[in-house]
Amino acid sequence: MNDAGHYAANDVIAEVERFDAIVLGAGISGLVSASVLQKQGYQRILIVDTYGHVGGNHIDWSHGGYTFDIGSLIFQDDSPLLAHFPELLPLYVPIEPTWARLNPQGMITAYPISVRDDIFSAGVTEVVRIFSSVIFARLFQRKMRNAKEFARYWIGSRLLHRSGLESYMKRFYGAAVESIDIDLARKRMLWISEHASLKNQIARAFRRSHKGPKNRQMARPKEGFQFLYRAAVERLERRGAEFHLAADMQTIRKVHDQLHLQLQDRVVASHRVISTIPIHMAEKLCGLDSGRKLETITLISLYFSFSGNRGFSQPIIYNFSHQGAWKRLTMYSDFYGRVDDREYFTVEVIGNQIGCSIERAESDFRDHVHANGLFEGDLKLEGSDMLAEAYPIYSKGAAGHAAQAMQQLLAFGLESLGRQGGFNYQPTARASTVEAEAALQKPIP
Ligand SMILES: Cc1cc2nc3c(=O)[nH]c(=O)nc-3n(C[C@H](O)[C@H](O)[C@H](O)COP(=O)(O)OP(=O)(O)OC[C@H]3O[C@@H](n4cnc5c(N)ncnc54)[C@H](O)[C@@H]3O)c2cc1C
């Protein structure tokens, strides 16, 4: 950079454009961050994304009248996201979703566990074994060093296996359950201890049923996420924000108290940069190396249309059986209506378990549903998507390493947050909103 504040990069001399703040990533965390900063008085904000669209990993695909997405679908009308972008509310489609699971015995039954189908239908001998294993675990297996030991303590190893919870956890976490950090297991699997605790069961039995107002569940609009988030973009732009999508982010350099982001044809600078992109990408931009790339799940989404007998009535099915690499399927036609009398749905498959091959994912799914009597009829693959960095893998030590890497980025001047930037499995847009708000309220150390 020369004395006049000009850059010479790629033989192009670019003037440095200054912003009050720069946000990397236009997903939920990036949009909410920009909104929070605007409320704090920042006016000129630049939101930069390598993706050509807003909404981050809210990715959809429409084809021949069908409307699919990679698996992100359900939102709520009391989400704090709507306090930032109230225009989104009327665009959602109100729905009444129900959930079920395919258990290892091939039954479609209650999610996450069915006392009737998973325990009592097993026969007297098995019921005795299940209860003995719970008592044994509570008395003699009290150590909880990983996700498996946590779940085993609460429901016993017999039910853990019989219900398929262990197999599902492996898909959910993307790794063997024994290798998953206990702190994260506690956070993400709290429902197990809540349901299995005798104290909670008794409290529930005596608690009067609470009939307060319930939130409304909503699906994204049929037109897709771009249609939805256009309203958020317009609100942010009205207040002075600017978007630079499909950006080629090259480097971030520290120049005095500012960070300079080199894009292909411009250099932008600010004293405040919030990053919501994957940690290793932010490190690379800044020329930092924390020495370890955090492992993530690659998600394959298969887009099917179907005509025939599907073998279940609920729109969302989780795979708790011991076979099959698919994790969940969502019947969009239950929410948006059939197309040419065909149903259509997305199947989420853990790519890491199937060599990240779409062909293998498809044949594994077809074989598995055929063996379990689901989708008898004409099942047609309409399309697919493969997304790296879809979920963090919480193997032991990963959370500590992510915290160190974020600390290093912060020392450089970059505040890293969100599902990607915080290496944080945020299950909902609600969680992403709350966590972005909290992170940006904290004083910068
Ligand atoms: C499959 C799936 C289903 C979900 N279902 C729901 C749901 O039904 N309801 C709900 O409320 N929430 C759902 N969520 C969670 C919710 O979507 C997240 O909380 C939210 O999307 C996180 O936003 P973010 O901005 O932190 O990160 P992201 O949107 O993940 O990413 C932020 C930015 O990081 C960069 N980035 C991310 N991945 C890559 C990559 N592979 N390569 C290059 N750059 C990348 C991009 O610039 C992106 O804009 C789902 C998420 C997924 C992945």
Q: Closest ligand 1 atom to the C-alpha of 431?
A: 19
Listed residue (297, 300, 281, 325) closest to 391, CA to CA: 297
Structure tokens at 265: 């044809």
CA 290 to centroid of ligand 1, rounded, Å: 23
Listed residue (432, 391, 436, 400) closest to 415, CA to CA: 436
Tell me the C-alpha distance between 101 and 317, whole Å: 5
Q: Which residues of the chain have pLDDT under 50?
A: 1-5, 9, 11-13
Q: What is the pLDDT of residue 3?
A: 42
Tell me the C-alpha distance between 242 and 233, whole Å: 9
Structure tokens at 21: 């703040």
Distances (CA, A) of 280 to 21, 47, 285: 21, 19, 9
CA 211 to centroid of ligand 1, rounded, Å: 33
Q: What is the pLDDT of residue 281?
A: 97
Strands 6-9 and 414-416: unpaired
CA nearest ligand 1 atom 36, residue: 277
Tally Cβ neighbours within 10 Å of residue 304: 25
Q: What is the mean pLDDT of the chain?
A: 91
Q: Residue 330: CB within 6 Å of ligand 1?
A: no
Answer whether 294's CB lies under 8 Å from 401's CB. Answer: yes
CA nearest ligand 1 atom 2, residue: 72
Q: Closest ligand 1 atom to the C-alpha of 391?
A: 53
CA 27 to centroid of ligand 1, rounded, Å: 6
Q: What is the pLDDT of residue 203?
A: 67
CA 24 to centroid of ligand 1, rounded, Å: 14
Q: Closest ligand 1 atom to the C-alpha of 27?
A: 25
Task: Report CA dihedral (67, 374, 324, 428) to the nearest 10 degrees.
Answer: 40
CA nearest ligand 1 atom 13, residue: 428
CA nearest ligand 1 atom 7, residue: 72
Q: Residue 278: CB within 6 Å of ligand 1?
A: yes
Q: What is the pLDDT of residue 442?
A: 75
Listed residue (123, 105, 196) closest to 156, CA to CA: 196
Q: Residue 392: CB within 6 Å of ligand 1?
A: no
CA 213 to centroid of ligand 1, rounded, Å: 29
Q: What is the pLDDT of residue 12?
A: 47
Tell me the C-alpha distance between 72 and 422, whole Å: 19
First to last CA, the chain: 29
Q: Residue 432: CB within 6 Å of ligand 1?
A: yes
Q: What is the pTM of this model?
A: 0.91
CA 295 to centroid of ligand 1, rounded, Å: 16
Could you give the count of Cα atoms lying within 13 Å of 21 in the half-sphere of its Cβ?
Answer: 26
Q: Residue 55: CB within 6 Å of ligand 1?
A: no
CA 26 to centroid of ligand 1, rounded, Å: 10
Q: Residue 388: CB within 6 Å of ligand 1?
A: yes
CA nearest ligand 1 atom 47, residue: 25
CA nearest ligand 1 atom 3, residue: 72
Q: Residue 280: CB within 6 Å of ligand 1?
A: no
CA 394 to centroid of ligand 1, rounded, Å: 17
CA 392 to centroid of ligand 1, rounded, Å: 11
Domains and CATH numbers, the chain: 6-58+78-93+220-293+394-439 (3.50.50.60), 114-204 (no CATH), 296-392 (3.90.660.10)
